[in-house]
Structure 1
Amino acid sequence: MNDLEVRLGRIVRANPDLMHVMTTVRGLGLNDWRVFSGAVYQAVWNDVTGRPAGYGIKDYDLGYFDPDTSWDAEDVVIKQVAAAFEPPFRDIVEVRNQARVHIWFPDRFGEPYDALPDTDTALSRFVAPAFSVGVRLEADDTISVAAPFGLEDMFDMVLRPNPNRPLAKGWDKVVASAQARWPELKVVP
């Protein structure tokens, strides 16, 4: 584990809401799960800028992997996760089977999306390296980190497009939304 992974682990552990989500989800026994996106990178940005732990966090994105790509199977998991939480978490933990993303992504975002082999591969397709970080609370209480582009952009508060995909539709909106909450962000074209 490198220094930034250790630092990320400390930030995650110091965030009671994020730890509540991960502890609860760990108890559900979902396959190949990660909490990722804003719940992770925004927690880091808040730490780096001295903001409160929950500032700017709108939801907790939870990915898992089930080869059953039926909507019915995913709906069972969505309901299982919702039942494990009290409000407000029940309404802000957003669950998606990563094995199904290729089914709905093109219609929702207007871009092609190849089927994924696992949850961690999804991170390599996120719109920015700073967003491409996932964490999981393991059975032994360690926090595992998946970050295909590393953690530097996230900790340096750098937003740059993912170099392995076309510029995401809505990139300017994503950047504007993030900069409105964290004006310290550095945007690299």
Structure 2
Amino acid sequence: MIGRLPLDEQLAALESTLARNEVLLEVLDRAVVLDLPGWHLTAGCLFQAVWNVVTGRPPGHGIKDYDLFYFSDTDLSWEAEDSAIRAAGEAFAGVPVHVEVRNEARVHLWYKQKFGVPCAPYDCTEAAIESFAATTCCLGVRQEPDGRWRVYEPHGPADVFNLVVRPNPVLAPRAVYEAKAARRRDQWPELTVLDWPS
């Protein structure tokens, strides 16, 4: 079982597993050209790709979009973020998926309105990744210009490989965790979804 291997072997297995998703590789290659500060490909396109491989599904099964986070706090205007989104639209033209680009330096400006709880400003992309509703989702990958991958996984990849969804009650409310977990279990019934802590 991959989740029981030493960490360096788990990370190697993670990279080789993700590399089975050709669309994901294409998005990483094109993201390098954008050169967005502190960027990471993150969220469902990563852990769901692993779930697909582990459960014998096609690598892209159930992945609705590819989240590309970056961090730029020099200009927090919507116009600056929209400029990056438009540049990404050109960079990802022809890729058969939606790539959603977001500046994580701006999340605190809209988070409460969307999720009902305040969010303190992040100081980097990694801080945003750490605040996902499930620890299993706290995963980011970027590709360096020389082709090497950098993986950010603060909780380790064992739960991802073991199909465990574990709550991460640092920011998102319980209802968000439970709604997302229910949707994911509908698509991947093999998941073990752990209860929100009492």
Q: What SS class does the counterpart of residue 141 from structure 1 fall into?
A: coil
- In the alignment, structure 2 segments of 5+ residues that lack a partner are 1-6
Task: Report Cα offsets for 1:62-109 as digits up to 9, x if no partner.
Answer: 1001112111100000000001122454x6100100100011111111
- What does residue 69 of structure 1 align with? 76
Q: 1:104 & 1:98 partners in 2: Cα distance? A: 11
Amino acid at match of 1:114: A
- Residue aligned with 2:102, SS: strand
Q: Name the SS for the 2:150 alignment partner.
A: strand
RMSD: 1.5
Alignment CA distance shift 1:84-1:165 (3 Å): closer
1:123 is matched with which residue? Answer: 129
Report the Cα distance in structure 1 between the residues aligned to 2:65 and 2:25, rounded to whole angstroms.
14
The answer on 1:43 being equivalent to 2:68 is: no
Letter in 2 for 1:27: V
Match for residue 20 of structure 1 among 2, 23, 26: 26
Write out the 4+ residue segments of structure 1 that deviate beyond 4 Å after TM superposition. Answer: none
User: Counterparts of 2:59 and 2:104 in 1: how far apart (Å)?
Assistant: 27
Pick closer, same or farther for the CA change 1:4–1:115 going to 2, 3 Å. same
Residue 82 of structure 1 aligns to which amino acid in structure 2? G
Q: SS state of the match for residue 132, structure 2?
A: coil
1:57 matched to 2:57: no
Q: Which secondary structure state, in structure 2, belongs to the residue aligned with residue 101 of structure 1?
A: helix
Q: Distance in 2 between matches of 1:85 and 1:174?
A: 27
Q: 1:166 to 1:43 in 2, by over 3 A?
A: closer
After superposition, give the CA deviation of every residue in 1:22-60 in whole Å (9 maximum; x if it has no partner): 100111111100000000000110111111011010000
Using the aligned pairs only, state the percent identity. 40
Aligned residues: 188
2:120 match: 114
TM-score (norm 1): 0.94
DSSP-derived class of the 1:116 partner: coil
Q: Post-superposition shift, 1:168? A: 3.5
Give 1:163 deviation, angstroms: 4.4
Contact preservation (8 Å) 2:138, 2:155: yes
Q: Give the superposition deviation at 1:124.
A: 1.1
Structure 1 stretches lacking a partner, 5+ long? none
Structure 1 distance, partners of 2:112, 2:184, is: 24
Q: Distance in 1 between matches of 2:95 and 2:150?
A: 26
Label 1:49 to 1:94 Cα distance change in 2 as closer, same or farther (>3 A). Answer: same
Contact 1:161 1:167 survives alignment (8 Å): no
